[in-house]
Amino acid sequence: MENIRESGQPQWISNNKVTWIDIQNPTREKISLLEAHYSFHELNVDDALSKIQIPKVDSYENQVFAIIHFPVIDKEQSMPRPTKLALFAGPDYLITIHQEELGPLSEAFQSCRDDPKQGELIMGNSPGYLLHTILDLLMDDLLHILMKVEGNLDDIEDLVFDEKTAVAREISMLRREITTIRRIVYPLKRTILVISKEIQRFSTEDLTPYFDDVIDHIDRIVEVLDESKETIEIFKDTDFMLSTEKSNKILAILTILFTLSIPASVTAAYYGMNVNLPGGIETGSPTFLGEYTSLIILMLVAIVPVGFMTYWFRRQGWLKA
């Protein structure tokens, strides 16, 4: 193991006869430094190096290999996406391999290096206990992501009932976010249950209560995600109904305005034609109401039907005072 430390490639720490090796941005050269001391199956090495791999657990006589997915927030798009954590566990070691930095895992590793007492608390006496600690920290980080989702739900709830604000895009983005997290979290429970059973043989201590605690975290996370999904669907339907109602009101107002303008439009259309009509210039204008008798008659013809229609619309409840 000393040649591994001197190479400066994979980082490792030992505590209570348990060795934790962490490899970020793995390459075949980095992993080959460990193959002389640990026996890796060639297919597992390929899976650990692959950026696209489904969750799985492979069990061997003296080793357990697993791939777990966790959601992380993409800094560019501010959206969750899956990241892969590969694990090699044996009687006295745990090797963690990840393509990018996992904040809680990196912080725990650094704490073990800086403080031996903290290392004892984190690593315990077996690789199974160490794995439980890592999973527990990652679950706590996932809970922080869910708290942000719930905060966004609260913000959208206020905006949905604001007629001046359109939230269709925000609702769609949050639905996508919740769906992405659910797709990542749902396989977690099954994978961790299998890992907990397989890694128990490397520990004399009963690890069931520790992994049950992790499973409880997952169940709570799944419950929150299901509630969030139902809530965002309610907001989607509510926003659609309110938007439809708003559009119907606008169409109703425009339809009424168009209807009220019909008498004036018809009158203007008739007297705008180049034909002889009563009261026109060719036939001579009546004067029994004065010089503007024709204008007064035309205005009455246009306004009286409008007044009648307005009265009728109010009685029908189509116009409200």
Mean pLDDT over residues 140-148, rounded? 88
Specify the pTM: 0.74
What confidence category does residue 247 fall into, taking pLDDT thresholds of 50, 70 and 90? Answer: confident
Q: How does pLDDT run across 157-196, given as a tens digit for each residue?
A: 888 887 777 788 888 889 999 999 999 898 888 999 999 9
Q: How many residues does the chain have?
A: 321
Non-local CB neighbours of 36 within 8 Å, separated by 6+ positions: none
Q: How does pLDDT run across 63-82, given as a tens digit for each residue?
A: 999 999 988 887 776 788 88
Dist CA 234 CA 53 (whole Å): 34
Dist CA 290 CA 277 (whole Å): 19
Dist CA 66 CA 26 (whole Å): 16
Non-local CB neighbours of 113 within 8 Å, separated by 6+ positions: 11, 13, 119
Dist CA 254 CA 268 (whole Å): 20
Q: Cα angle vertex 37, ends 32, 41, to 5°?
A: 60
What confidence category does residue 5 fall into, taking pLDDT thresholds of 50, 70 and 90? Answer: very low
Coil, helix or strand at residue 96: strand
Question: How far is residue 231 CA from its own chain's centroid?
Answer: 13
Q: To which H or E segment does residue 93 belong?
A: strand 93-98
What confidence category does residue 279 fall into, taking pLDDT thresholds of 50, 70 and 90? Answer: low
Topology of the domain covering 2-244: Beta Polymerase; domain 2 (3.30.460)
By CB atoms closer than 10 A (0-12, 13-18, 19+), residue 87 is buried
Q: What is residue 7's predicted lDDT score, i.e. its pLDDT?
A: 40
Domain coordinates in residue numbering, the chain: 2-244, 263-316
